[in-house]
């Protein structure tokens, strides 16, 4: 495996994904990981990520410098290169100006790292500091007009560095550089592929769970469906799946989910709990987003817990709670300073502590695209695998302000039309996520000859790689116009439709 040490980079996930795409397992850990942990993981190579700090800053993030002497190949990217330079005796200084964007490097010496690259190559730069003085016994491989040391290596010590970002698409030969490091230097083998991990995951679940039973809440979303199907393959009828309808799900969703688990997957122990009334009562009068999330989280645990107690009386051996946690969820919760987890509390994370169950998370090492591939191998239908993410609190965080049955009805209808039209026009699969939100305001309109005073619906469609950042989807105007017309004509209570053109950051994907 290739270990990535994260110094606060925007692109750490991208590095991990690129390495996995090469067929080699990679994991991201915080930069201050102990040597003991590294010894346990036995990485074939280590990549030091970029980061927003300056290596000379007070409290700048650093790794244990002994890492550079372990004999494990190390590749520093941007800030990572500067750290290697500093620890190996070179000098890092603030550049005359920040270098940001596409640049051309002159390759003077290909060395091992830049093998196969031409004399001039385009790269993506994003840095303020630069290496001013080369550490002893290092060789410069490439320069730009403003950055003399844009890549270096010391083959004897197996230390390598690039000032630019090989992991982004704007560095066309970036993959070649990563390949040179992973295969040429680290001698990693291509062993990471969904076919091989499927068998391993099932084996591991069997070992972990033993003869016990597992209870799992499913939502009909990709992650929990794939996790439940894997668990079902591993332990069969000792899996108990509970689907709680909290009343905040989409149109027709309850029927579809029940039909899928009962009739298509033929789960023996599948329980449908209609708790929509309880949730609506608990949400009465609440308008604050965090309070809403808390109310839903607490009610969810309460309803789920009473189902577990009921099942435990019947079956006894429920010792595990299955969860569809995927790799980015873990990274976010392990680093609470991270943007997304600080902004909104994700209620699904609080369950196991309260319930004294051990957690089994078969997808915890995987990215969403890998989960989808596993889902395909498990023959889960395409319409489930390709579903957009849907938040745990559901439509409650898309009905801004107080959640009432009437507002949920309006949103559900509008959302259904939006998604249906996206599917019909072939745009559904092109965006990361799309949905409608109901704003807590009314506006004046005119329909027929009469004045109307009705709700405003906002449509949001975004493109994204992993939901950490997102861009608004550039849907065709004619399509938006058609959707707007259908919603206003068919959904009682709406007379205005907006299209949201906010990027994340500064916005988030969801509204609350
Ligand atoms: P934000 O709104 O933070 O959303 O940009 C990022 C991604 O996370 C989803 N999301 C959630 N998923 N429980 C979940 O399981 C939640 O409480 C939750 N809140 C947001 C959101 O839909 C988007 O894909």
H helices of 131-267, in order, are 174-179, 194-209, 222-235, 253-259
Q: Which long-range contacts (CB under 8 A, 24 or more apart) does 96-102 make?
A: 96/146, 97/146, 98/127, 98/128, 99/125, 99/126, 99/127, 99/128, 99/130, 99/144, 99/146, 99/147, 100/125, 100/126, 100/127, 101/125, 101/126, 102/170
pLDDT tens per residue, range 52-95: 899 988 889 999 999 999 999 999 999 999 999 999 999 999 87
Say how many Å lie between the CA of residue 78 and the centre of ligand 1: 30
Provide the pairing of β-strand 2-6 with 26-30.
Answer: parallel
Domain ranges for the chain, please list them: 2-185, 194-385, 398-499
Which residue is it, tokens 């840095």? 127
Cα distance between residue 503 and residue 150, in whole Å: 32
What's the half-sphere exposure (Cβ side, CA atoms, 13 Å) at 37? 13
In CATH terms, are 2-185 and 194-385 the same topology? yes
Q: Are 390 and 246 spatial neighbours (Cβ–Cβ below 8 Å)?
A: no
Catalytic residue among 78, 147, 186, 241: 78
Assigned CATH for 194-385: 3.40.50.620
pTM: 0.77
**How many angstroms separate the Cα of 9 from the Cα of each of 94, 338, 355?**
19, 11, 35
Cα distance between residue 211 and residue 24, in whole Å: 33
Residues 6+ apart with CB under 8 A from 253: 220
Which residue is it, tokens 């499913």? 218
Give, using CA atoms, the residue closest to atom 11 of ligand 1.
Answer: 391
Say how many Å lie between the CA of residue 47 and the centre of ligand 1: 29
Active site residue 167: yes
Domain 398-499 falls under CATH 3.30.300.10: yes
> Which parts of the chain register pLDDT below 70?
315-316, 331-355
Q: Is 425 exposed, middle or buried (0-12, 13-18, 19+ CB in 10 A)?
A: middle
Give, using CA atoms, the residue closest to atom 21 of ligand 1.
Answer: 391
Say how many Å lie between the CA of residue 364 and the centre of ligand 1: 17
DSSP string, 360-411: E-TTTT--HHHHHHHHHHTT--HHHHTPPP--TTGGGGTB-SS--HHHHHHH
Cα distance between residue 51 and residue 43, in whole Å: 22
Q: Is 233 in the pocket of ligand 1 (CB under 6 A)?
A: no
Active site residue 186: no
Cα distance between residue 77 and residue 81, in whole Å: 5
Active site residue 298: no
Q: Which ligand 1 atom sits nearest the alpha carbon of residue 510?
A: 2
Task: Please write down the HEC assignment for all residues of 447-489.
Answer: ECCEEEEEEEEEEEEEEECCCCCEEECCCCHHHHHHHHHHHHH
Q: Which pLDDT score, from 0 to 100, does residue 170 have?
A: 85
Beta-bridge partner residues of 460: 435
The 3-state DSSP composition of the chain as helix, strand, coil percent (nearest 5) reads 40, 25, 35
Assigned CATH for 2-185: 3.40.50.880
Cα distance between residue 113 and residue 177, in whole Å: 6
What six digits make up the tokens of 178?
């990563």
Q: Which of 199, 262, 222 is nearest to 387 (CA)?
A: 222
Q: Is 504 in the pocket of ligand 1 (CB under 6 A)?
A: yes
Q: Which pLDDT score, from 0 to 100, does residue 340 have?
A: 29
pLDDT tens per residue, range 293-313: 999 999 998 999 899 888 888
Residues 6+ apart with CB under 8 A from 310: none
Q: Which pLDDT score, from 0 to 100, does residue 11 have?
A: 78
Cα distance between residue 252 and residue 416, in whole Å: 9
End-to-end CA distance of the chain: 38
Give, using CA atoms, the residue closest to atom 22 of ligand 1.
Answer: 391
Q: Which pLDDT score, from 0 to 100, does residue 467 have?
A: 82
Catalytic residue among 13, 99, 147, 165: 165
Catalytic residue among 121, 153, 167, 454: 167
Length of the chain counted residue by residue:
512
């Amino acid at each position: 495996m290739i270990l990535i040490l994260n110094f606060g980079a925007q692109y750490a996930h991208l590095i991990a994904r690129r390495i996995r795409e090469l067929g080699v397992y990679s994991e991201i850990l915080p930069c201050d990981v102990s040597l003991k942990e590294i010894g346990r993981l036995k990485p074939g190579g280590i990549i030091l990520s970029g980061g927003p700090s300056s290596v000379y800053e007070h409290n700048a993030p650093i790794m244990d410098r002994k890492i550079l002497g372990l004999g494990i190949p190390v590749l520093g990217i941007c800030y990572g290169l500067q750290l290697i330079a500093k620890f190996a005796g070179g000098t890092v200084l603030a550049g005359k100006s920040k270098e940001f964007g596409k640049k051309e490097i002159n390759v003077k010496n290909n060395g091992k790292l830049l093998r196969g690259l031409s004399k001039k190559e385009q790269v993506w730069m994003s840095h303020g500091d630069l290496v001013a003085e080369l550490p002893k016994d290092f060789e410069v491989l490439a320069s730009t007009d403003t950055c003399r040391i844009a890549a270096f290596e010391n083959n004897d010590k197996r230390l390598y560095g690039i000032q630019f970002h090989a992991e982004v698409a704007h560095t066309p030969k970036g993959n070649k550089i990563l390949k040179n490091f992973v295969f040429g230097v680290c001698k990693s083998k291509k062993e990471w592929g969904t076919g091989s991990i499927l068998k391993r995951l099932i084996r591991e679940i069997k070992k972990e769970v033993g003869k016990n039973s597992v209870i799992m809440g499913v939502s009909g979303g990709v992650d929990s469906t794939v996790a439940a199907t894997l668990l079902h393959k591993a332990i069969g009828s000792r899996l108990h799946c509970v689907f709680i309808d909290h009343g905040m799900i989409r149109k027709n969703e309850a029927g579809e989910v029940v039909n899928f688990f009962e009739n298509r997957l033929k789960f023996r122990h599948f329980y449908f709990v209609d708790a929509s009334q309880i949730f609506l009562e608990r949400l009465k009068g609440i308008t604050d987003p965090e309070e809403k999330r808390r109310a839903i989280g607490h009610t969810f645990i309460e309803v789920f817990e009473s189902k577990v107690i009921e099942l435990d009386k019947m079956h006894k051996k429920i010792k595990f709670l299955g969860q569809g946690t995927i790799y980015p969820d873990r990274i976010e919760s392990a680093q609470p300073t991270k943007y997304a987890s600080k902004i909104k509390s994700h209620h699904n994370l609080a369950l196991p502590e309260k319930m004294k169950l051990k957690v089994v998370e078969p997808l915890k090492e995987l990215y969403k695209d890998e989960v989808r591939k596993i889902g395909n191998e498990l023959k889960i239908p395409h319409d489930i695998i390709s579903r957009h993410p849907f938040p745990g609190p559901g439509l409650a965080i898309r009905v801004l302000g107080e959640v009432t049955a009437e507002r949920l009805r309006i949103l559900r209808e509008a959302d259904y039309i939006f998604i249906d039209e996206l599917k019909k026009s072939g745009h559904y699969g092109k965006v990361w996520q799309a949905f409608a939100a109901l704003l807590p305001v009314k506006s004046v309109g005119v329909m027929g000859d009469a004045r109307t005073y009705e709700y405003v619906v906002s449509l949001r469609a975004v493109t994204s790689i992993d939901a950490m950042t997102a861009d608004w989807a550039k849907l065709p105007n004619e399509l938006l116009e058609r959707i707007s017309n259908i919603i206003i004509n068919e959904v009682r209570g709406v007379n205005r439709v907006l299209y949201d053109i906010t990027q994340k950051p500064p916005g988030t994907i969801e509204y609350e």
